[in-house]
Amino acid sequence: MLTLLIALSIASPLELATQTGPEDAVWSVQTHAFAGGDRHRATATWKGLDVVGADVIVVGDTLRSSNPWDRPTGRLAVPQKVAQDVAQRLLGGAALAWAPRVEPVIVAFDGARYAWQVDVASANPFAAWRVWVDGETGRALAALPTSFSADGSVYSGDPLSSQVQTVTLEGLSGDDALSGEFADVFSCDDAEIGESLFDSSVCNGLSRHAVPDSSGNFLFEPEPESYDDPFAEVHLYHHLDIVSRWAQDTYGFSRASPTTAFTNFEMANAFYGDFDGDGVADIAMGQFEGIDLTYDPDVIYHEFGHGIVGGVAALGFLDADETGLRWDGGALNEGTADVIALLLTQDPAIGAYAGTAFDRTAIRDLVQPRSCPEDLVGEVHADGLLWGHLFYRLTLDERLELADVEALLWGALSTWGPTTDWTEAGESLLDAAEDLRSADALSDDGVTAVEEAVSAANLIDCERVIDLVNDEEHDALLLFTGIPGALEVLPAEVQYRITMPADGSDVDLCFTEWSDRTDNIGYRIHVRRGQPVGHEIVDLSLFGLRTAVPTDFDADFDGEGTGLALTLGPEGDMVTTAGEVLYVSLASRPIDEPESLEFTFARVTLQINGEVIEPATRGGCSCSQSGTPVFLWPLMGLLPMFWRRRPKTPTGN
């Protein structure tokens, strides 16, 4: 490129630029502020085509660098496919990472001529190039690498299951930062973490601690308790690149731009959502109690899974019907994100390392069989285990290959809409199996395996009513908003059916345990004879959701805390007859004056006991206290999911 040092007395950088090309060229100028004099870069188009190599650099009123050119010669006589083949030959026959992208341009390397610009990349190892092919002769004019690689230190798995090793960091777009084809990684130096439903979480200060060494490599030791940990940035880049390439190779899915990801800030959670306020969803990985969630690939894969769901499906989150609140959409989103991690690792223990921050062996375990409605509690991560176990079962089935399971997930996921519920999700999976069989991509035995798994999960026509039997405990999540009106008393996701003993004895309904309850939340029990408690659906456009208000019931009872909640029977709080069937709906309620916009989630464990209780023991509770609560993500993980429809909307673990 010709370099000129010409001082001209023309005020505008744009006017300077026009001196280097034809009069009818169109120029645009980008300015970079600098204390020693602003730098201006002008780029040109001619008749709608970008002019490659015609950039003009202006400092102050001085033309520092330019490449004089005139109207192009020749024409685009060579077909686009020929130019693509020329570019591919430069890769030496390597498999392609994606379909080449070809567009017409003008190149001004030596004069100006019409050319084809081809972006092409090999898959393994990854290497991306931009190639310019003469539009008249078909000759390769120039080639420029658009990706870089470097070595980096990472865990292949997590710190519990692997050692630090050196890997090649694929797809880097430069040699000085962890920014590439699929990922752009930063540390967050100034994080504001929202504490309520209406608080946004945002990162105000960005930096990069991972600086390459003299050889261009990113080799660091782990520092999980540091907020200036370069290893965390490298680990995040590597595993985000892995899941991004898997999504592209497996499903043809890619985001419109590289995923921006943040690490090195304090938060007992990780989430998918807009963390830097630019309107584009990011991945944010907090650290807590000396455990950096960035070190756990499961969590990275899970959060990216939310991006896949958001990019393919139009799932809702929280809805309502006549039975109560419905968390199906949020649960399917969380369950699918867990399945993404499962498909990449084939390990059903999701977040084994991350779980150590909360004294757990894993954040979630997909091994335990689950079915609808018995295992629904009204919390999206816990309910998502229903979908997660179903797919874990499919990965173990010898009638299916892993690729079959991957295809089944995609076939189901890509048909979901805002009102998809458990029944429709089950049907979508069955439909995906049938579609694959029709295309000769799945055997009859494979279809049978899917049918058996869906049946075992009881997804089809799953009513959200659980039969309560003696000494059997069930968890339920209560949501308390602190907002008067329709959001003051909120029902749980499921109802309970109690069949009174044939011998006429009493039944005690007990709360055996509360978790994370504040002093402002209590419960309200609605009871109806012979049919489920009815709810009116109320649209709340301000919040972008619907809620259910209990309307059809025979009696209601208020209480708080643990112990005996309600006695049913001939002489109970509600008089019943032998063999009568009762339906119970549990709801939250405020105890004292609620604080404005105070959102609280409380988990309770319910139990009934059918033994006859003597009058002298009334007021106590004969129910067993031996129930072991199921583990849910920390509440910080639930709150961001509830924010999902807001402009700055993280989707939590």
Position 542 scores a pLDDT of: 52
Residue range 565-573: mean pLDDT, rounded? 91
Domains of the chain, by residue range, sit at 6-65, 80-146, 151-457, 474-626
3-state SS assignment for residue 356: helix
pLDDT of residue 234 exceeding 90: yes
With 80 as the cut, is the pLDDT of residue 635 above it? no
Instruction: Pull the structure tokens for residue 462.
Output: 């799953």
DSSP 617: G
Rounded CA gap, 110 and 74, in Å? 13
What's the pLDDT score for residue 64? 67
- Which of 281-285, 391-395, 639-643 is most confident? 391-395
Let me know: does 609 contact 510? Beta carbons within 8 Å.
Answer: yes
> Which residues does residue 65 pair with via DSSP β-bridges, in sequence order?
57
What integer is the mean pLDDT of 219-242?
A: 96
The Cα–Cα gap between 107 and 49 comes to 10
What is the mean pLDDT of the segment spanning 607-622?
A: 47
Q: What is the pLDDT of residue 199?
A: 57
Least confident of 512-526, 610-624, 632-646: 632-646
191 and 204 Cβ atoms separated by less than 8 Å: yes
Cβ(287)–Cβ(224) below 8 Å: yes
The pLDDT of residue 622: 43
Distance of alpha carbon 580 from alpha carbon 104, whole angstroms: 78
Which residues, 6+ apart, have CB-to-CB distance to 282 below 8 Å? Answer: 259, 260, 261, 262, 272, 273, 274, 275, 276
Q: Within 10 Å of residue 562's Cβ, how many Cβ atoms?
A: 17
Query: Which residue, 261, 418, 288, is CA-closest to 353?
Result: 288
Predicted local confidence at residue 403, as pLDDT: 96
**Cα 564 to chain centroid, rounded:** 40
| The pLDDT of residue 35 | 64
Does 57 score more than 90 pLDDT?
no
Q: Which of 120-129, 295-304, 601-610 has the highest mean pLDDT?
A: 295-304
Integer Cα distance of 408 and 96 in angstroms? 25
Confidence of residue 616 (pLDDT cuts 50, 70, 90): very low
CA distance 372 to 490: 21
**pLDDT at residue 298, as a whole number:** 97
At residue 291, the pLDDT reads 94
Q: Which of 156, 374, 331, 354 lies closest to 269, judged by CA?
A: 354
pLDDT of amino acid 215: 87
Name the class of domain 80-146.
alpha beta
> pLDDT tens digit string along 275-318?
888 888 999 999 988 999 999 999 999 999 999 999 999 888 88
pLDDT band for position 418 (cuts 50, 70, 90): confident
Spell out where 201-295 has E strands. 202-207, 259-263, 270-273, 282-285, 287-288, 291-292
> For residues 288 and 100, what is the distance between their CA atoms, to the nearest angstrom?
43
Asked whether residue 229 carries a pLDDT value surpassing 80, the answer given is yes
354-383 tens-digit pLDDT: 999 988 899 999 999 999 999 999 989 999
- Whether the pLDDT of residue 421 is over 90: the answer is yes
The pLDDT value recorded for residue 17 is 62
Separation between Cα atoms, residue 389 and residue 364, nearest integer Å: 10
Longest pairwise C-alpha distance within the chain: 105
Enter the pTM of the model.
0.77
CATH architecture for segment(s) 151-457: Roll (3.10)
Q: What is the mean pLDDT of the chain?
A: 84
Total count of residues recorded for the chain: 653
- In Å, how far are 73, 115, 129, 144 from 133, measured between CA atoms? 14, 5, 13, 12
DSSP 500: P
